[in-house]
Amino acid sequence: MNIQENVSLANYTTFKVGGPARYFCNVETIEELRSARDFANSKNCPIFVLGAGSNVIASTAGFDGLVIHIDFNSIEVDGRVIRAGSGSQMYDLVDTAVTAGLVGLEWAGGLPGTFGGAIRGNAGAFKGEIKDTIQFVTAFSTATGEIKIFDNPACEFEYRESYFKRHPVWVILNAELLLSSGNTEQLRSIADEHIEFRKTRHPLEYPNAGSMFKNVPIQTIPTATMELFKDFVKIDPFPVVPTGKIIQDAGLKGYQVGGAQVSEKHCNYIVNRGNASGEDIHQLVLEIKKQVHDKFGITLETEPEFLGFDT
């Protein structure tokens, strides 16, 4: 295992921002993961685990510890079961399921990031969520070195949340999905439709981290405000108001801090117009949250993780 020093995190995040990691390593086996943990312990430094970097915004200061880049990317099909490493790309996993004629992942057509990241954040779209098909998750504790198998209830999935997101010492190694039998041609059509939807509706021409904020459950919205948005409620997978609509109606479409901008194509995306820093993005997020709360009484929650920031 090769431990590198002062590695730019901008090269490992989809936002293309972030300063240096004091230490950095790529791990492909559990043995390498254990060795990385031992190294961090020997240096008495914190650990941050990174997948595809599609849900991370890193500060210019970087990370004064060890960043472990997970590269467990095996995918196996056994009847209606798929077993995959946490570093597997979601587009590979969706393609594998569709090719095998298995129903349950076609909603994720075009979804960026890794399988482990999708589990950690209970990714979802088009009325589907990763929790719907997860059977077991195998994870490693960077605190104790223990390996544990979590069944679906033990994962404590919630809306864009899981046990692993709330307890980041647990590093997802692999997981098992139980899917249903279906028609490959029909599944391919659905997945392709979702891919095309993302290409058309989302600002993929600029570096970004996907949806910046969770959609807003209707029960958390003040009654008077709800009157303004009652015609825009959608199921995701329960009744919510799309955050993009809320941000747009707050007058923030195209709003910019430094090189970071609220997308003019989809207002729940912040994009890097070419020279954004993590600080620009962080400041823009704080400004959006303030203006939305001041105007509508709605408290927005972010989806991505901010690395190297106090809040």
Q: What is the pLDDT of residues 69-116, one digit of tens each?
A: 999 999 999 999 999 999 999 999 999 999 999 999 999 999 999 999
Task: Let me know if 211 is a catalytic residue.
Answer: yes
Q: What is the pLDDT of residues 193-217, one digit of tens each?
A: 999 999 999 999 999 999 999 999 9
From the list 160, 176, 277, 305, the catalytic residue is 160
Task: Let me know if 287 is a catalytic residue.
Answer: no
Measured at the CA of 234, the angle between CA 233 and CA 238, to 5 degrees, comes to 110
Task: Let me know if 162 is a catalytic residue.
Answer: no
Query: pLDDT above 70 covers what percent of the chain?
Result: 100
From the list 162, 211, 263, 277, the catalytic residue is 211
Confidence label for 236 from pLDDT (cuts 50, 70 and 90):
confident
Q: What was the pLDDT predicted at 127?
A: 87
Q: Which residues make Cβ contacts (< 8 Å) with residue 129, sequence separation at least 6?
A: 122, 123, 157, 237
Domains (range + CATH), the chain: 4-70 (3.30.43.10), 75-188 (3.30.465.10), 206-297 (3.90.78.10)
Do the Cβ atoms of 11 and 24 come closer than 8 Å?
A: no
pTM: 0.92
Q: What is the pLDDT of residues 25-61, one digit of tens each?
A: 999 999 999 999 999 999 999 999 999 999 999 999 9
